[in-house]
Amino acid sequence: MIVASNLKTNLTRAQTSSYLMDVENFLDKTNVKQEVLVFPAQSSLAVHAGQIYQGAQNAYPAKNGAFTGEIGSEQLEEFSINTILIGHSERRHILGEAQTLLVEKFHYYKNLGFKIVFCVGEPLEIREEGEGVMMKYLELQYEGIDTSYENLIIAYEPVWAIGTGLTPTLEDISKIHLALKEKSSAPLLYGGSVKIDTAKDILACEGVDGVLVGSGALAVENFCQMIRIAQDLEK
Ligand code: PGA
């Protein structure tokens, strides 16, 4: 399974480095064989050797250039980073990134062979409109991306579940995942308020290939514990 930690705008460079080191030590010690991804804040990116895939939370679809406040593929290459998160709901809804820009990023980083974690998810008002409207909304978020790209991972993260402590029921998670799996056979992660005490049930859901965790993975011991749960469950 895939266990991913999105550190968002948290942890300093030194704290991130010790976080990565602690996870590597855990993986070495336990001989866990899960795919582990960590997305540090941009200023904490650094060369990292080990089992973890270190990824960027965002990058502009260009090698370099006049894109104030952004980083490009040249800055990622400096640290041998070839994993990226695209379309996280905070990029879509707080930073206002439109599907067209996300599609541009997708193709730019796909052409470089990056492992891409592409996020989809519906806001509460869409979910309240019913299943048909919700599935249509999610479908539009797949528009323009190559769903058969070999290095694609999709993360289903309901916007209303992110950072709120709310999660869909396990039945809903399975149902939505199985429906989304018809759109792409890429591994499908669940994200949105996954915590140490809910990780097992969520990971065990049919159609769930892993989790993308924010606040629940900020404490490194909790993240390691989730990796262990995935290992124990190994489907
Ligand atoms: P959360 O964040 O676990 O804090 O809800 C998940 C995410 O945004 O990827």
Q: Catalytic: which of 35, 88, 97, 177?
A: 88
- 235: pLDDT strictly greater than 90: no
Task: Give the Å distance between the CA of 62 and the centre of ligand 1.
Answer: 27
Which CATH number do you get for residue 79?
3.20.20.70
- 209: pLDDT strictly greater than 90: yes
- Of ligand 1's atoms, which has the minimum distance to the CA of residue 119? 9
Q: What is the pLDDT of residue 117?
A: 98
Q: Whose CA is nearest to atom 1 of ligand 1?
A: 214
- 234: pLDDT strictly greater than 90: no
Specify whether 221 is catalytic.
no
Task: Give the Å distance between the CA of 35 and the centre of ligand 1.
Answer: 18
pLDDT for 158-201, tens place per residue?
Answer: 999 998 988 999 999 999 999 999 999 999 999 999 999 999 99
Q: Which long-range contacts (CB under 8 A, 24 or more apart) does 144-147 make?
A: 144/99, 144/100, 144/102, 144/103, 144/106, 145/102, 145/103, 145/106, 145/118, 146/106, 146/107, 146/110, 147/183, 147/184, 147/186
pLDDT for 30-79, tens place per residue?
Answer: 989 899 999 999 999 999 999 999 999 999 999 999 999 999 999 999 99
Q: How far apart are CA 202 and CA 198, in angstroms?
A: 6
Specify whether 157 is catalytic.
yes
30 near 234, Cβ under 8 Å? Answer: no
Overall domain count for the chain? 1
Helix axes 131-141, 170-181, angle to 10 degrees: 50
Query: Cα–Cα–Cα angle for 53, 94, 203, nearest 5°?
Result: 45
> Which residue segment(s) compose the domain that 192 sits in?
2-233
Give residues (CB < 6 A) around ligand 1. 6, 157, 162-163, 191-194, 212-216
pLDDT for 91-104, tens place per residue?
Answer: 999 999 999 999 99
pTM above 0.95, yes or no: yes
